[in-house]
Amino acid sequence: MTTRHDAAGGRATIVARTLRSDRWWLQPAVTFVGLFAFVGYALYITFINRNYFWEPYLSPFFLHA
């Protein structure tokens, strides 16, 4: 890591664009894709309104008419 001080005596200038070398964005991306898939599935199941009963369970997406 190389640092230099500004001529004005302020903050140190870091030559590297970033010091992180890990893929920090991977976990939020997986979370976003999973939530987006669930919301899409939930909307689809809600609007088709069938296949909501499987003995002895009732889907939480069941709509009373």
pLDDT in tens, 9-58: 678 888 888 778 899 999 999 999 999 999 998 888 888 877 766 778 77
The larger pLDDT score, comparing residue 4 to residue 52, is at 52
- Locate the domains of the chain by residue range: 23-65
Q: What is the DSSP string of 7-63?
A: TTS-SEEESSS-S--S-TTHHHHHHHHHHHHHHHHHHHHHHH--S-EETTEE-TT--
* Prediction pTM value: 0.57
Q: What is the pLDDT of residue 10?
A: 77
Give the pairing of strands 57-58 and 3-5: unpaired
Q: Facing residues of 4 across strands?
A: 13
Report which of residues 62 and 21 the model is more confident about: 21
